[in-house]
Amino acid sequence: MNFDNFIIIKSASIMSALNQIDLNHKGLIFVKEYSDKIIGIATDGDIRRYLLAGGNVQDHIEKCTNINFVKADQKAPREFLLKQLDQNIRMIPILDENDKLVSILSKDHFPSSEEQKVFARAKSPVRISFGGGGSDTSNYFINNNGAVINATISLFSHASLKKRDDESIHINSLDLKDKVTFNNFQDILSYQGKFSLIQSLIKAIHPDFGFELYLHSDFPMNSGLGGSSVVLSAILGCFNQFRNDKWDQHDIAEIAYQAERLFLGVAGGWQDQYATVFGGLNFMEFKQDQNIIHPIRLPNDVLLELEESLVLCYTGTTHDSGDIHKDQRLKSRSEEVEKRIQSNVELTFDMRNHLLRGRLNKFGKSLDMAWQLKRSFSDRISNPWLDEIYAGAMENGAIGGKLLGAGGGGYFLFYAKHFYRHKLMDWMKGKNLEYVPFRFEESGLQSWTVREDNF
């Protein structure tokens, strides 16, 4: 908007002001000091009343200027401005810190807010797996149908992403207790170090802008909760906020798989990626031509009872899931191990049916059967310390349970019926084992954007 016909110096004549009002067709003019500071407003009504009272058109416009006028600064809320215009205020001058005119608002001229800088946030939940492990690997379900059952819980990986004005890449991870900076995308391709998981994802999505990425998780690394896939899901959720053509849930799970399994070369299955992205309690089928996610809908009382009957126990040890999966892949080539995995798949169908019919004690006992099958896939899945924990839990209130993830350490999940939960937790405390409270998490990956100037 051209301000020439809307501003007049205070020493100008009333006649000059009337001429400018006639040109701007708005019935008013803003009056300024010699420093360009706006000091008031003169409307055609103000001028008419002054002249009727005996004033002269050659008098200074300052004589009939209203200094108690509605004005606003550049940070004024839209709500305030709209309310003023709604009360028959014809025009509102927008002034800078020196009271100089920068814009004029009216009912006919109310520009939309300029697009502000935003940053993206995301959180993605971990999963607890109940059965079918080993059947979600490509080398198994390429010839056989795989099936698993899992649920996401209230432990998350969190990511925040902010675009930069240059090409540099800054990554800060509380989980790794470290941060790293790259000059551009090409620099990160040759990187070798502890950020290799994130490097593989950046390689897979090839962003065309520099960024700052901040990461932290509610759980320790290498703990059997599918944490690597959860971290990748959270990062992808942030990047997705800056895309016009948004990835869908399958896209995100597949990109996470590509980054971890293909680019980074970590052996493992498919369930972790789908679990964290989709969220909830799911029965998943894996076939050569497609992966199918079947949400399990339980009555609320059954779901609550299941939640109250499960006890998550951290063993205090971690594992290398990739190495265990590699060993399991070699062992699964034997006919006997392949038959055990198939038995695990059949058991998973039974577990699904137990859940749907509310037969929770049978479901709990099936966890024990799943563990016995799982630990037979490889001699690296369990060890004397883990066997001791499991035996002690079964003697102190648990009717079933299993080690989560690939094995070798991390978390045990136990099922204790009715009032035996306290006995089990007391025993865990005596063994210095950590009880980790959780709730089922219905939502999977969640991501959103926030205006930077809101904070």
The reply to whether 364 falls in a domain is: yes
452, part of any domain: no
Per-residue model confidence (pLDDT) at position 308: 96
Q: Of the residues 106, 131, 161, which one is the last residue of a structural domain?
A: 106
The tens-digit pLDDT sequence of the chain (455 residues) is 678 889 999 999 999 999 999 999 889 999 999 999 999 999 999 999 999 999 999 999 999 999 999 999 988 888 889 998 888 888 999 999 999 999 999 888 887 777 778 999 999 999 999 999 889 988 888 888 999 999 999 999 999 999 999 999 999 999 999 999 999 999 999 999 999 999 999 999 999 999 999 999 999 888 888 899 999 999 999 999 999 999 999 999 999 999 999 999 888 899 999 999 999 999 999 998 889 999 999 999 999 999 999 999 999 886 554 454 455 455 555 678 788 899 999 999 999 999 999 999 999 999 999 999 988 877 778 899 999 999 999 999 999 999 998 777 889 999 998 889 999 999 999 999 999 999 999 999 999 999 887 64
Distance CA 84, CA 66 (A): 17
pLDDT at 115: 72
At 377 the pLDDT is: 79
Residue 49's domain spans which residues?
Answer: 7-106
Q: CB under 8 Å to 8, separation ≥6 — which residues?
A: 16, 17, 20, 29, 30, 31, 32, 61
Residues 230 and 304 in one domain: yes
Q: How many CA atoms lie within 13 A of 335 on its CB side?
A: 0
Residue 450 within any structural domain of the chain: no
Consecutive H or E run containing 130: strand 118-131
Is the Cα torsion angle 399, 404, 408, 410 positive or negative in sign?
negative
Contact indicator for 237, 277 with CB cutoff of 8 Å = no
Query: Which DSSP string corresponds to 368-423?
Result: HHHHHHHTTS-TTS--HHHHHHHHHHHHTTEEEEEE-TTSSSSEEEEEE-GGGHHH
Quote the pLDDT of residue 322: 47
Same domain, 22 and 66: yes
Q: Dihedral of CA 205/282/316/262: which sign?
A: negative
Q: What angle do CA 383, 384, 387 make, to 5 degrees?
A: 85
Q: Are 405 and 128 in contact (CB under 8 A)?
A: no
What's the whole-model pTM score? 0.82
Q: Are 102 and 95 in contact (CB under 8 A)?
A: yes
Q: What would the pLDDT profile of 220-238 be if each residue is shown by its tens digit? A: 888 888 899 999 999 999 9
pLDDT in the model for residue 99: 94
- Residue 234 placed within a domain: yes
Give the CATH number of the domain where residue 46 resides.
3.10.580.10
Clarify whether residues 124 and 101 are in a common domain: no
CA distance 113 to 78: 9
Structural domain includes residue 290: yes
236: enclosing H helix or E strand: helix 227-240
Q: Please indicate, yes or no, whether residues 222 and 278 belong to a single structural domain of this protein.
A: yes
User: Which residue, of 65, 80, 106, is where some domain finishes?
Assistant: 106
Within a domain: 446: no
Whether 281 and 179 share a structural domain: yes
Q: Please check whether residue 114 lies inside any domain of the structure.
A: no
Both 328 and 384 in a single domain? yes
Domain count along the chain: 2
Give percent of the chain with pLDDT exceeding 70. 95
Q: Among the three residues 59, 81, 106, which one is the final residue of a domain in this structure?
A: 106
Helices in 53-111 by DSSP H: which ranges? Answer: 78-85
Does residue 153 share a domain with residue 125? yes
Which residues is 28 bridged to in the sheet? 43
Q: Is 1 a member of any domain? A: no
Q: Are residues 123 and 97 in the same domain?
A: no
- Of 146, 60, 62, 71, which is closest to residue 105 (Cα–Cα)? 71
* 282 and 168 assigned to the same domain: yes
| Domain co-membership, 102 together with 142 | no
Domain co-membership, 283 together with 186: yes
Contact 65, 41 (CB under 8 A): yes
Structure tokens at 36: 């360009």
- The CATH number that applies at residue 286 is 3.30.230.120
For residues 198 and 346, state if they share a domain: yes
